[in-house]
Amino acid sequence: MNRFCLCVLLLFFPELMPGQWIHPEEHLHDEHRKKQEQMRGIETVTAYRSKNVSGKRSRLCLLERYDSTGNIRMKYERMFYRQRNFDRIHYAYDSAGRIQLITDSAAFPQNYVVQDSLAYDANGKVSQYLRAFPRRGESPQTSITAYTYDEKGRIKSKTRSGLKLPVYYHYNEYGNYYESVNESDTVPAMLFSYEKGCLVIAQDQHSDDRRFVYARDSACRILRQDMEEKSPDGTWRAWSRWEYRYEGEELAEFKEYKRKKHDSELKLERRLMYKYNEKGFISQITELDHRGKVKEIRNYFYEYYPK
């Protein structure tokens, strides 16, 4: 799958990365570094959203600008078709090219600005993450999180302001982890089951009536993801399902199913169809409802730096 395709998908479907339970700020720099490699040579990305196949009444919904090294500098986005103004995000980097400051100005409510800043240790790992955010009628509040790492460079502990105890991370053979408030705790909060190294079941040990079950292909790509809950009779029933269809290495179709309380079976809620340009970047995402009627079309365009 094209890496930029994956970045776009994760924006809408964070659960596409099962087994990755660490909060996103703890991998913020790593994710920006990956995207820098993917987007090097691209100057701008724009996307237009329309409600019909003809493209009439199309509206700009996304604008991203990158520097010549592939670092994103700004992102303007309308998350909803009728949203009047853009959410605006600006990025700043240190002399080593590491993400240092993110300023997020929300379109609604107005004047709602969140700033995220990162500090790094001698090994280039995030040592401190600071978030400053406003509260109505009060001065901006701050949240500070500090990290330590083990000899393999994995997060060992996390200490967040306002919490008395740090959180410790314990890893299994596949690199997945569970959290505890005791450095020597050996009881996992999450139970992971694997087949041939691929995650197939993830279950919260504190809530033994809910789990995620995955079906995968020979390349370990997700074909189906079910969110299951245990019935009173002890059987597991899926309440939601995501299905993925691939053409070659690219994702071609996504389907979402849901089952309401009194439904006997899952029902299709929506479908997403994907097209790609000659460079392997997403060129179009078409969203259809359960009847197959087009709800929205997003067309993506790219401008490249001269070689």
Local mean pLDDT, 10-residue blocks, the chain (307 residues): 38 36 58 81 92 73 92 88 81 92 78 86 91 73 90 88 80 70 64 80 75 91 92 89 94 94 88 93 93 92 90
**Contact by Cβ (8 Å): 89, 102:** yes
The alpha carbon of residue 13 and the mean position of all alpha carbons in its chain are separated, in whole angstroms, by 6
Cβ neighbours, 10 Å, residue 209: 12
Tokens describing residue 61: 């919904």
How many domains, in total, are found in the chain? 1
pLDDT at 202: 82
Q: What residues make up the domain containing 135? A: 3-304
Question: Residue 238: helix, strand or coil by DSSP?
Answer: strand
pTM of the model: 0.77
Ordered DSSP codes for 40-97: TTEEEEEEEEESSTT-TT-EEEEEEEE-TTS-EEEEEE-SSTT--S-EEEEEEE-TTS
Q: What is the pLDDT of residue 244?
A: 95
- The pLDDT of residue 176: 67
* Predicted pLDDT of residue 63: 94
Phi/psi region, residue 151 (left: phi>0; alpha: psi -120 to 50; beta: rest), is alpha
What integer pLDDT is reported at residue 30 of this predicted model? 73
